[in-house]
Amino acid sequence: MSASPSNEPVDVLIIGAGASGAAIAWSLTETRMRILCLEQGDWMMSSQYPTTRKNWEAQQFGAFHVDPNVRGLEADYPVNNTDSPIDVLNFNAVGGSTIGYAAHFPRLHPSDFRVRTLDGVADDWPVSYDDLEPYFVQNDRIMGVSGLAGDPMYPPKQPPLPPLPIGRVGEVVAGGFDRLGWHWWPSDAAILSQPYEGRDKCLNLNPCMSGCSQGAKGSTDITYWPEAIRAGVKLRTRCRVREVTVNADGMADGVIYYDADGRECVQKAEVVIMACNGVGTPRILLNSKSPQFPDGLANRSGLVGKNLMFHPVALATGVFEERLDTHKGPNGCCILSKEFYETDPDRGFVRGYNMQVTRGAGGPLATAMRGLASGDIPWGPGHHEKFRQRFDHTVQVLAVCEDLPEECNQVTLDPELADSNGIPAPKITYRLSENSKKMLAHGLERGKEVMRAAGAKEILETPLLRPSGWHLLGTARMGTDPTRSVVNSWGRSHDVKNLFIVDGSIFVTAGGVNPTSTIQALALYIGDRIKANLANLFDD
Amino acid sequence: MENATTTTACTDAQLRRLSALLDTVLPASTDGTLPSAREIDFTAYLSEQAPEFQEELIGILERFDDNFPDLAISRRVDLVRVFSSSDAPAFRRLVFRIYDSYYQSDRVRTAIGARPGPPFPNGHSIPSGDLSSLEAVKARGKGYRR
């Protein structure tokens, strides 16, 4: 390792260039402060995404796998999932996990912010749906959201683009919902149904989760970042932050990071903003120990890393006689149902779940490999007959369940496992609560019910999907009480007045929907609060 | 056979075993519409897309006797099943490579109704779908809580 280069100090240092880091970088550009973002990954090139290659499916099992432990790329860090029934998933690049997400783009519901008041569990958020509503709108415009206005399960909203086609898949499953008298609606998606802001519309390539070659999917490398960089924000890639440093007054004064050549570098800053997701942020904070913060930075509450929430997923796969072309169209975005989203005490659990209808098992290789893993499609004689029954004939309905915060579910630093720079890896300790188990079971049964009503001739069950830890929430929660939360109502650390957190870590509860829309709305909201408080940003 | 490419890394005996192994894991369909995996140029696939697997493949082939290709398929299936039980990870890697090669084949993709080649840039066309029943969904009224 060579000497430690030092860099020119900046006003604002953002760690992480994903969903939230991009949004707040863009938001703060109007301040004309010197803003720098450090990102451990690199820029992606759409011409290199799998769907441009004949072996596009195989890459989803390798370099574009959703699990960083399987990918094992230079930009990735390992995650110890051995004490969790759900594996952490992510993507590390400019754009972060928006490179690998399905772009299913629901907002949290108004009730999600008031769970203590409405249902007597967990805590209310210190912000409301109405507080965030203008930022949802702003974010929808920048990311390019397609959807249909009028969903009675939400306050009025108008997506900027018309909905994506639901296709024959959507029609068939919607018929099931109709027969049961259940709610359904086309999914809001951060995927363009029409040309928009210099980007072309979706080509229905299908595997959105390995990057969008068309650029129709709203990942922040092609939405927020170009605008933020044009406005003067600096983005330095392949820089992995080890720790946030503090001065004698206990204020954050910068970071130590490793550059692309593995050199240890110092970056000084007046303000530090964490945007590394609900696992990456507590990992860095817990690794930032000092005499003032012996248990990790901003952790006087002891809650950094605790209250980890996923969205546990159960899924029912319906097998249909009719060919449904399920390898065409955005994989994760078809239709949804909120029939079981709000609390009903008669169900035996509190809170609820979103039913997300996806477009099946994917292409031929994915179909065959998943069939091999489950034993549903044999190798050898009999393969072709079973394969034909499955490929393009299966539809999945996922019950995306609200997880409630529990301190025993947490991210800590692994004492042995480390990344390529020697930084301790995150260790996940997580168990399903009884409430979540009941909700999963209920969701699976309702999924089977709707598949039967839609005409499925056979239904396959997955009671808990292990590779489902995309949504990493709650590990540095917001709140007004410094003893029961890590940051205040606008993302500022209670303990370190110039340290902000803007990613999913700050969620108080998880809701039952994919969180990216709300994460980004929160980041924009915090950006506006920072701008409004610039004159007294560090005051009590 | 699409192509009879061989790999210099394998002996003739190993190639015979490979051909039989491919035919055991993915035989032709009984209706004749889908070929056996032995009819797909697996060795060319390995050379171009998975050269790192060749060494492991040779090791796998050495688990089978020279008479393996001469056995009836039911007996070959039994022997492959023994292999899959004794080393499930290696078997899974083998099957992954066979499936990947097979389902990239233009001939196979056409037969199963999937367009040959990568999805981009042609993409796919799908119908908008019928949204008319949403009027009844809307008629149920507000369904969220504040």
pLDDT of residue A5: 61
Contact list, B73 vs chain A (CB under 8 Å) = 381
Burial of B128 (0-12, 13-18, 19+ CB in 10 A): middle
Burial of A169 (0-12, 13-18, 19+ CB in 10 A): buried
In a domain, B130, yes or no: no
In a domain, B1, yes or no: no
What SS3 class is residue B89?
A: helix
> A353: how many CB neighbours lie within 10 A of its CB?
29
Distance CA(A198)–CA(B144), nearest Å, equals 36
Spell out the alpha helix ranges (H) of A8-60: 19-28, 56-59
Helix (H) or strand (E) holding A418: strand A410-418
Average pLDDT over residues A187-209: 96
Alpha-carbon gap: A267 to the closest alpha carbon of chain B (Å) = 40
CB contact under 8 A, A55 and B99: no
Average pLDDT, chain A: 97
In a domain, B127, yes or no: no
What is the domain count for chain B?
A: 1
Chain B contact present for A57, CB below 8 A: yes
pLDDT of residue A6: 66
Kindly report the length of chain B. 146
Q: How far is CA A418 from its chain centroid?
A: 23
Average pLDDT over residues A337-343: 98
- Show the CA angle centred on residue A215, arms to residues A201 and A107, nearest 5°: 80
Distance CA(B18)–CA(A224), nearest Å, equals 51
Token pair for residue A195?
Answer: 């040309």
pLDDT of residue A540: 82
Q: Identity (one letter) of the amino acid at A376?
A: D
Integer angstrom CA distances of residue A51 from A75, A147, A397, B119: 21, 25, 25, 5
In a domain, B5, yes or no: no
Token pair for residue A438?
Answer: 């009941």
pLDDT of residue A359: 86
Express each pLDDT in A14-45 by its tens digit: 999 999 999 999 999 999 999 999 999 999 99
In a domain, B124, yes or no: no
Tokens 């300790």 correspond to: A429
Q: How many CA atoms lie within 13 A of B50 on its CB side?
A: 21
Alpha-carbon gap: B5 to the closest alpha carbon of chain A (Å) = 19
Q: Are strands A252-258 and A240-246 parallel, antiparallel or unpaired?
A: antiparallel
Domain that holds residue B51: 12-117
Average pLDDT over residues A313-325: 96
Express each pLDDT in B28-65 by its tens digit: 999 999 999 999 999 999 999 999 999 999 999 999 99
ipTM: 0.93
Alpha-carbon gap: B105 to the closest alpha carbon of chain A (Å) = 9
In a domain, B139, yes or no: no
Query: What chain B residue is nearest to A212 in terms of C-alpha separation?
Result: B120
Mutate to test the interface with B, among A125, A192, A384 (most CBs of B within 10 A): A384
Express each pLDDT in A86-134 by its tens digit: 999 999 999 999 999 999 999 999 999 999 999 999 999 999 999 999 9
Chain B contact present for A338, CB below 8 A: yes
Express each pLDDT in B33-42 by its tens digit: 999 999 999 9
Contact list, B92 vs chain A (CB under 8 Å) = 372
Express each pLDDT in A458-496 by its tens digit: 999 999 999 999 999 999 999 999 999 999 999 999 999
Average pLDDT over residues A275-280: 98
In a domain, B123, yes or no: no
In a domain, B125, yes or no: no
DSSP β-bridge partners for residue A191: A217
